[in-house]
Structure 1
């Protein structure tokens, strides 16, 4: 059978480029999306030479509505694409009070709006066909407000919720949705966010992270946390969350709030 093509955002470097390498070596044609056309072309040429797959390059800025719509159209119309990797994302340095409103808006546009819109563009076609996959790259920061990365973490919490909600809706219709929550991974994101690379702690190698994420993908694991060694902790977290659900339907306030 012909393997589906994979569209990967943020594909010019780091996690996205590594996903491109791994899927190419699995025999999938690729559509690589990013702003850096020179890097995209270099990656495409290398992967075509080494693996023989077809690679298309799409240079866009996903924070631009007009350019984002070009990728949405491709996802709606290109029947070859059966897997979307929503990887494009950025960080934001400084504390909340030091971050400009415009910078916050830009980060939200990339980390949440583009993720939701691209999933929305491809999901109807995949559900109609009854197969396909959406991989959304989140972060463990979305589970940890203690880390002090408020806006970035909030966008990644959105990615997790979106992924779990889509899994519940699309899974019964044949579409697999995976959220990948990396911990600190050595990529260019840190320097772009203004971090002093010399002061950064040890981080996971990007190849190891993506390989773990793809192992989770192959196992049809809805949420993959590559750095979490004790999987029972995530199960306990999910069980605790599920135990609260009946309480959300109560029509009277809890006794502790009584005057």
Structure 2
């Protein structure tokens, strides 16, 4: 069926969090464009969602770390005025620390977790602004707030996703663009196996369905930052308020008195 809701493009859609987003959005009535590397899994998911929900589902098998393939998805976003919701979910984890860094692993993480998120968002925005509205959901991570968790550059990539989402909200929120950063904690997906870690050795692992359902509730509420595992929202509010309280003190022509010789 042709949905009255905007078409949603979901990256990393073949498994895990992305596949759940595809399922939930289809059941809300969104037509879908699904992006991931595994064509067989994409095709199977698309066939199921077409049969169960009646929405239109297009698949784009893509490796977002490949510049040419990423450019093709950017072009798809620019050429499709119906795409009014982008879910930047594709990402990878890295087990390497800075001291034992593999530059190739770090580079791939940055291309997937940072570059593709920024470029796809930039490609989606012109059409959304022309229509006067749209939404972008960026999957970040609680580790973007926790540099003490030693995951090398991975945490830094997720801090970028959070900061970019907040900056986009500050710039574009009043122009009808809703940007949400979702900060999961450990979630049961294939990302752990791919990064060489055993998810069964972790505590407090959330199921992907519970994570996405909570994140979509936060989206419906208009939240800019959604942290599904955080019990007390006031903790985030206090953290953000403390950050905002510093802003006026950043604009000084001279070093603070505490740095005087």
Give the TM-score, by structure 2 length: 0.97
Partner of 2:196: 194
Q: Once superposed, which parts of structure 1, at least 4 consecutive aligned residues long, lie more than 4 Å away?
A: none
CA distance in structure 2 between the partners assigned to 1:118 and 1:172 by the alignment: 21
Aligned to 1:210: 212
Map 1:1-259; keep pairs closer than 5 Å: 2-259=4-261
| Partner Cα distance (1:191, 1:167) in 2 | 34
Give the RMSD, CA atoms, in angstroms.
1.0
Q: How far did residue 258 of structure 1 move? A: 1.4
8 Å CA contact 1:93, 1:99 repeated in 2:
no
The alpha carbon displacement at 1:99 in A equals 2.6
Task: Report the secondary structure of 1:8's partner residue.
Answer: strand
Helix, strand or coil: the match of 1:95?
coil
Distance 1:238 1:198, change over 3 A: closer
Structure 1 window deviating more from structure 2 (94-103 vs 112-121): it is 94-103
Helix, strand or coil: the match of 1:146? coil
**Counterparts of 1:94 and 1:78, CA distance in 2:** 38
* 3-state secondary structure, aligned to 2:55: coil
CA distance in 2, matches of 1:198, 1:236: 33
Offset of residue 200 of structure 1: 2.3
User: 12-21 or 94-103, which moves further after superposition?
Assistant: 94-103
- Number of aligned residues: 259
Deviates more, 1:90-99 or 1:166-175: 90-99
Question: Matched residues in 1 for 2:184 and 2:250: separation?
Answer: 30
1:1-42 CA deviation, whole Å, 9 max, x = no partner? 811110000000000000000000001110000000000001
Give the Cα separation in 1 of the matches to 2:33 and 2:244.
Answer: 38
Q: Which deviates more from structure 2 when the two are superposed, residues 173-182 or residues 191-200?
A: 191-200
Please give the secondary structure, in 2, of the residue aligned with 1:145: coil
- CA shift, 1:124, in A, is 1.1
Gap runs ≥5 in structure 1 = none
Whole-Å separation in 2 of the counterparts to 1:94 and 1:102: 11
